[in-house]
Amino acid sequence: MRRLLIAVVAALASAVAVVALPAAASAAWCGGTAESATDRPDTVAALSWHVIYAYPTDAPDRFPQVVGAMTDDLTAIDTWWRAQDPTRALRWDLADFPGCAGGVAALDLSAVKLAHDANWFRGGGDRWGRVRDDLVAAGFGDADKKMLVYFDGPLDLPLRECGIAHTGSPATGGGESYAIVYLGTGCGNGLGAATFPAVAAVHELVHSLNALDQPRSGARPPNACRNDAGHPCDSPNDLMYPFSIGGAGLASKVLDFNHDDYYAHSGPWWDVQDSLFLDHVDSADHAAPGLAQALSARTNSPGMVELTWQAATDDGGAVSYEVYRDGVQVTVASTIGYSESLPDGATRTYAVRTRDGVGHLGPAVTLRYTGGLGIVDATGVLLKDTVAPGPVPGVRGKVAGKVFTLSWAAAIDAGGIAGYRVYRDGKLVTTARNGASITFPASRAGGTWAVRPFDRAGNLGALSVSITVASPKPARTA
Ligand SMILES: [Ca+2]
Ligand SMILES: [Ca+2]
Ligand SMILES: [Ca+2]
Ligand SMILES: [Ca+2]
Ligand SMILES: [Zn+2]
């Protein structure tokens, strides 16, 4: 389920068209004026928030002018959240800047020139989707991150909406988890002063943490607005109140007035406090989970792939497993194993990443697999045959003179057949390694016969249909 939540806000004191920028960068962001259009290597192995400054192709890049004020607001948001709930903190995607003290100053802030011009984003339409699509195409689709985007371009905003977000899946980030705030058209006035732009940013961010996500049935947030169930109406000081007065500062806002609608409440519906994109600072779980060991893949039934791995260990509670197909997260499983359809001959890359109960992430384990063949290298060469041969289609037995010949049609295996196990009356009699027949003295012909192929990796195929051969009559002597 996905619901559009138009945010906020704004009733600004005046609709100035030009953003009043702070005079100079005031906070010490450790990245200086260095711009990165890609997600820098993570220093936090956990679900996190990634912050992006984005601007249309034909708009000026004001990142050097606004980064200090953005950092000031994000620092204020971080401090405000910890004051609202000392057991939680926003978990940010941080970068390894030399000599940086850490915290919000070490934010991995991206600066991205979008693929479209201001006109593409200016009007109504699905602006959220347009911004999101450009950023996902630029590489910001990591399912382990939710994105907070500062969009810096001119807009037509008759309703003074200064931000927008969707509710997605509480468990994952990526393309469904974009919180966007606008800097243009007056929305950014006061950036860096912990006033309206900071309120809008954390308001949209909390939408992306699925605040007031309405359950299909049963108890629900008691103070949801009557015609706007994604916002609470019990206090204008609530962070998620449908609109905010321009001059109201972040300090006047509370994270769920009375704790009865979306944060630290006692109801059965989703509670933002449980989000794994928050650092659970009160948890005794501090370490990342181990690897999904022994990741393997096989084809047990045609047209399918079955992934298997061993349970990972963790210093906390249960471990979940994020499964990726060709870089796209397809599920977060609480149990071991995953299967999906995969045509024989098709090759995909699978990865499994562990996640603990508070959002720490283990390293990913990866393999490439070709349906019906096995685990392959980057060029498609078979590394490990994990697929058993098909069954032998039929078995024949024939006594001629003193010789009994058992023969069968060859089994098929993409990695190569190595031989056949031969069974009489359910017991292994011998192994045939030189083709699809074997001979015995005629005196041993009586019984029920079947064969089982095996491939070069030792994978055993299914037992063939069995045939029953009568004992040859003993030759009579006159
Ligand atoms: Ca990063
Ligand atoms: Ca409330
Ligand atoms: Ca852990
Ligand atoms: Ca095989
Ligand atoms: Zn809203």
DSSP letters for 195-251: SHHHHHHHHHHHHHTTTTPPPSSS---TTEETTEEEEE-S-TTBTTSS---TT--GG
How far lies 343's CA from each of 107, 346, 373, 381, in Å?
43, 6, 11, 18
Closest ligand, as measured to the CA of 139: 1
Q: Give the distance (Å) from ligand 2 centre to CA of residue 258.
A: 5
DSSP tag of 103: G
User: Ligand 5 mean position to 361 CA, how many Å?
Assistant: 30
Task: Find out whether 257 and 87 touch, Cβ atoms under 8 Å.
Answer: no
Helix, coil or strand: residue 420: strand
How much is the pLDDT for 27? 59
Which listed ligand is nearest to 387 at the C-alpha?
Answer: 4
pLDDT at residue number 247 = 64
pTM, full prediction: 0.87
Nearest ligand by distance to the CA of 231: 5
Distance 276 CA to ligand 2 centre (A): 22
Nearest to 392 by CA among 422, 371, 424, 370: 422
Angle at 296 between CA 295 and CA 299, to 5 degrees: 150
CA 36 to ligand 1 centroid distance, Å:
10
Q: Under 8 Å CB-to-CB from 298, ≥6 apart: which residues? A: 305, 306, 308, 374, 386, 387, 388
- Ligand nearest the Cα of residue 313 is 3
Taking the C-alpha atoms of residue 179 and residue 164, their distance in angstroms, rounded to an integer, is: 6
Q: Separation of 242 CA from ligand 5 center, angstroms?
A: 6
Ligand 2 centroid from CA 255, angstroms? 8
**Which residues, by Cβ under 5 Å, contact ligand 2, an ion?**
223, 232, 234, 256-258, 260-261
Ligand 4 centroid to residue 393 C-alpha, Å: 17
| CA 362–ligand 1 middle distance (angstroms) | 15
Q: Which two tokens stand for residue 295?
A: 């990741």
Ligand at minimal distance from the CA of 3 is 5
Look at the domain 296-384 and name its fold.
Answer: Immunoglobulin-like (2.60.40)
Helix (H) or strand (E) holding 79: helix 63-84
Find the 197 Cα to ligand 5 centroid distance in Å. Answer: 13
Every domain of the chain with CATH number 2.60.40.10 lies at: 296-384, 395-469
pLDDT attached to residue 251 = 95
As a three-state string, the secondary structure of 335-372 is CCCEEEECCCCCEEEEEEEEECCCCEEEEEEEEEEECC
pLDDT of residue 317: 85
What residue ranges of the chain have pLDDT lower than 70? 1-27, 124, 158-160, 245-247, 474-478
Q: How far is the CA of 380 from the centre of ligand 4 (A)?
A: 15
Q: Which ligand is nearest to the CA of 140?
A: 1
In the reported structure, the alpha carbon of residue 110 is separated from the centroid of ligand 1 by a whole-number distance in angstroms of 9
| Protein residues near ligand 4, an ion, with CB under 5 A | 385, 387, 413, 415, 455
Q: Which residue has the tokens 């996902």?
A: 136
Per-residue model confidence (pLDDT) at position 100: 93
Q: How far is the centre of ligand 5, averaged over its atoms, from the C-alpha of 230 (Å)?
A: 7
Ligand nearest to the CA of 94: 1
pLDDT of residue 473: 76
What is the whole-number distance in angstroms between the Cα of residue 168 and the centre of ligand 5? 14
CA of 467 to the centre of ligand 5 (A): 73
Please tell me the number of the ligand nearest to residue 254's CA. 2
Nearest listed ligand to the Cα of residue 106: 1
Q: Which ligand has an atom closest to residue 284 CA?
A: 3
Question: Residue 162 C-alpha to ligand 5 middle, in angstroms?
Answer: 10
d(CA 128, CA 213): 19
Architecture in CATH of 395-469: Sandwich (2.60)
